[in-house]
Amino acid sequence: MKYQGKKVRFIVLMITVSLAGLMAVQLRLLNIAWELKDQAFQRNVVTALTITAQKLEAGEMTEDALEVIYKFGTTDTLVSRVKKFGFHLPDGHLADSLNAELDTAFINIEAHLPVETSSPSRQMTFIVADGRTELIQRIVGDLLVQEPRPIRKRLDRAEIDSLLRINLDAVGIDLVPDFGVIATGNDSLVLASTDGYLDSGGDKLLKSRFRSRLFPLDLTPDVFEIALHFPGHRGFLLNQIWPLLAASILFTLLIVTAFVLALGMVDKQRRFAGRMVDFINNMTHEFKTPISTVSLASEAIARQDILEQPEALQRYNRMIRDENQRMRRQVEKILQIAQLEAGDFSLSMAPIDCHELVAGAAEAFALQIEKRGGTLSLDLAADRVFVRGDPVHLANVLANLLDNAIKYSPDAPVIGLTTRNNRNLLILEVTDQGIGIDKQDRDRVFEKYYRCPTGDRHDVKGYGLGLSYVRLLMEAHGGHVKLGGSPNQGTHVTLALPLDEGDPQPGSEK
């Protein structure tokens, strides 16, 4: 038994460690999934933010280029001024970026120019097509020498908001961020999506990790950045991983629930096995006494001198008969419990007068109680007394309760039997002033083979089947049983049985 207990504990320990490890791995995988989604979110935001900044600069350059071109009145004047300026961009990365931006700008210029063939604007179109390099040089030179406009006049909130929405949507982000323009020189907010940010100082935007420089081609010392803040950032990420998170939580709960149920079953089986061992030991001890008595009586009957004494012979025969009936009752009780649990039994239902049933049980145990100097009182206050049940089984239920009340009363037993009505129920209570039952044992005493600890008292015999039998019989009759009391202050058992619908004795509810 000890080996089996150690084996069970070892298995439980392994399952516990495995479950803890599995939960740790799931948490780690969820954390990795969150980080990957967050990194992808950052990359997409940076991409959208960079594109927005580029489009803002390209749009401004297009407007400035159109303004320069429309200053010239004739084609000859334009050509002469381009040749006179002779501006050449230096080689290198900055030159490539300038040419790329200007190339985009002139595509936009061509789209804005009118198409009339006879107008000066039409002649300007040919100039753009034929002398592209010279025109680019002139425009850049003109842009370099002019004073930059204030940043607030170069940007428009509505335009920024529109570009951000379009570019974020293009990378799969449907959030609407708050944005602001920051002067990096003094780290101050000069423009924001709402005036509330400007009034509060814009700490969230100033601390944002989503930034991109505005107008990188400016040669002025002032540097401005556009920054974004996403109030719904965590909700957006959670919405992306919620199927994985929900599945993980669900399966984890299922595993934990199954594990807890398995532990409960193992513990229940362990306790049941312990009670079974106690039951077998008690049964062996209980059967040992009558078997020994029967054996001694049989040997005595075989003696010649006993055969010549009719009175002694009858006494030994009576002892054999009594012990045989005692063992048969115990076997029948065990078989009845098994049949009740399996549902393989039949009840001989009939109307029963409970007051007669109680009176019969009290008469049967009166002698035992008197021998111990105790008392048995009856308070039969029920007006309606008929229930429908099996008289034999209900008599056995009362016998079990009275027998327990006597056994667990260390002094002279003081036992009471009361009846009353409660709506459509007959309530029958058996009370005593014995050793009582601890609160933690009140539910378990109805389990098969369970016996409450009796402290120093080792003379209380039993198999732990009585109250289990009572509960099963009450449920079979459509009633219930409840146990109350406290240690050293006695016990009271309450039986509730449905009244017989055809009760011939009318009465009022109490």
Give the integer Cα–Cα distance in Å for 257 and 159. Answer: 55
**What is the CB neighbour count within 10 angstroms for residue 493?**
22
DSSP element (H, E) containing 417: strand 414-422
CB under 8 Å, gap of 24 or more: what pairs does 51-54 form?
Answer: 51/167, 52/160, 52/163, 52/164, 52/167, 52/212, 52/226, 53/212, 53/213, 53/214, 53/215, 53/216, 53/226
Q: Using CA atoms, how far apart are residues 107 and 42, in angstroms rounded to an integer?
A: 32
Q: How many angstroms separate the CA atoms of 146 and 140, rounded? A: 10
Cα 362 to chain centroid, rounded: 53
Question: Which CATH number applies to 236-342?
Answer: 1.10.287.130
| 446-488: pLDDT as tens digits | 776 666 655 444 444 555 567 878 888 888 889 999 988 888 8
Residues listed for the chain: 510
**Which has more pLDDT, 126 or 382?**
382
Please answer whether residues 492 and 485 qualify as being in contact, where contact means their C-beta atoms are separated by less than 8 angstroms: yes
Query: In the block, which residue shows the tokens 């007006």?
Result: 383
Q: pLDDT, tens digit, for every residue of 373-403?
A: 999 999 999 999 999 998 888 988 898 889 8
Predicted confidence at residue 502, as pLDDT, reads 65
How far apart (Å, rounded) are the C-alpha atoms in residues 395 and 359? 10
- Domain 350-498: assigned CATH number: 3.30.565.10
CA distances from residue 245 to 20, 238, 257 in whole angstroms, order as listed: 18, 9, 18
Using the predicted structure, report yes or no on whether residue 191 has a pLDDT greater than 50. Answer: yes
Q: What is the model's pLDDT at position 112?
A: 47
pTM > 0.85: yes or no: no
Q: What is the pLDDT of residues 403-445, one digit of tens each?
A: 888 888 888 899 999 999 998 999 999 999 888 887 777 777 7
Backbone angles phi, psi at 21, to 5 degrees: -65, -40
Q: What is the mean pLDDT of the chain?
A: 76
- Asked whether the domain spanning 350-498 has the same topology as the one spanning 236-342, the reply is no
Query: Above pLDDT 90, what percent of the chain?
Result: 13
**382-415 exposure pattern, b = at least 16 Cβ within 10 A, e = fewer:** bebbbbbbbbebbbbbbebbbebbbbbbeeebbb
- Amino acid letter at 209? R
What beta strand segments (E) does 328-385 contain? 350-353, 375-380
**Cα dihedral angle (433, 437, 439, 440), rounded to 10 degrees?**
180
Name the more confident of 2 and 372: 372
Enumerate the domain spans of the chain.
Answer: 2-145, 151-233, 236-342, 350-498
Q: How far apart are CA 64 and CA 48, in angstroms?
A: 24
CA distance readout (Å), 416 to 400, 401, 412: 15, 11, 13
End-to-end CA distance of the chain: 54
